[in-house]
Amino acid sequence: MYKKIFSCFLLFFLFFGMLAPGAAMAADTTELPTGSIALYIGSNKAYVNNTEKLIDPMNGSVVPIIQNSRTMLPVKFISENYGCTVQWDGANRKITVKSGENTVVLQIGNKTVYKNGIGFLSDVAPFIKDNRTYIPVKALSESIGKNVFYYSKLILISEPETTFNSAIDQTLIGEMLSKYTEQKLTIEQIAAFDKSTVMIYSLDSNKVPFSQGSGFYIGEGVIVTNYHVVKDARSIIIETENGSQYEIAGMVEWDQTLDLAMLKTKQKPDMITLKLGFNKTLVKGQQIVTISSPYGFKNTVSDGIISGFRKEGDVNLIQITAPITFGSSGSPLFNMYGQIIGINSSGMESGNLNFAISVNHLYNWYMSKVAGKTFYEISIKSA
C-alpha cells in the first residue's frame, strides 16, 4: 500500500489545523508505485517500476555496500534508473548529478555534498571499488527530491509524492521482502508441482480426443496452455496428476499470434495455484525445469538451461535445452524458485532447439481477468 498526497485534503487539514506529518490517502497494492525502486542489502537485484533487474548487468556480484552504517550504490545504477544525468570529472574526482532544478556535486573521499551550491556533511564519502564509483544513497536521493524508506534490509526509493509507512504498508513490504528472501528449490521440490500441471485433451464433435497437450493451473479454475493445443476443439477435458478429469467451460482469453490461451473449468479443481514469475531477470546458462506430457507420458520432469533469447514478431521467446515435443506444448517452464517464467511451445528434435513463450505476455490478461477475482467472478469470452 502506498500513499499519495492530494491537495484538496491537504487544504482541508491545514484549514482545521489537523495536518499530521506524512498524512496521505492510501490504496491497497502489492506493487511498487510508478517511479519507485526497491533494493535489499546483500542482494544483486533491484526492482525498478516493478521490473526485476541486476544492479550491475556486467557483474552479478555487485550489491549495495554498507559503509559507516550508510548504504552505497554504484553511480552508474543511479544514472540509469533515477531519471537524472551524471557527469564525472576525472581530474578533480567529482561526480555531478542533475535532476530537474537540482544539481548535486560529490567528490571521492570528501564527506561534503553540495546541493545547488550549498554544502552539507554526509556521514560517508564517495569511494571507488573494483572500478566502480559508489555514492551514498540517502544523501543523494534526498538531495534530488526523492524519498528513502528503510525496513530491515529493504530499501524503497520513491518520488516526492509517494511515501511509505511501516505500519500501514505491510502488504507491499511483505511482498517485496518475499521477493528477496525466496529460496531456491531443488529439482525434486519443483517436480512436486506436477499436481498443478495437467494433460489437455481436445475432443471432436463426437467427444473423441484428436489432440493432446499440456497446461498448468494459475488459480480459480483457470488453466494456461498454448492456443494451438485447443484451437480446433469442440470440447476440452483436462486430466490432473491423480487422474481426476475436469471439463472446460470455455476460454477466458486467447491470442493466436501469441499462441496463448486461458481456459476455465466448469468446476473449481482441487489443485494448488502455481506462481507466475513476471518480469524476472533471465540470463543465458540459467537452470530451468519443465513438467509436461510428451507423447502422453503424463507430467514428465526435465531440466536444462536457458540457451538464448529470440523474438518472433512481437513474441518474446526463451530458448531452452529441456526437450519440447508432441504433447509438451502449453506446459510450464520453471525457474529454480518454482516460478513460471515461460509457456513451452515448440521444439526441433535436430539441434536440441526448444522454445517457450515469455510469461510476461500473460501479464495483462492475468491482472485484468484473474487477479483478485473468485472462481465465479471470472468470465468466459465469447468467440
* Separation CA 124–CA 134 (nearest Å): 11
Q: Which of 56, 169, 194, 259 is catalytic?
A: 259
Residues 6+ apart with CB under 8 A from 179: 38, 45, 47, 52
Q: Which of 228, 235, 303, 307 is catalytic?
A: 228
Active site includes 329?
A: yes
Q: Which of 329, 331, 345, 358 is catalytic?
A: 329
Active site includes 259?
A: yes
Q: What angle do CA 47, 51, 56 make, to 5 degrees?
A: 60
Residues marked as catalytic: 228, 259, 329
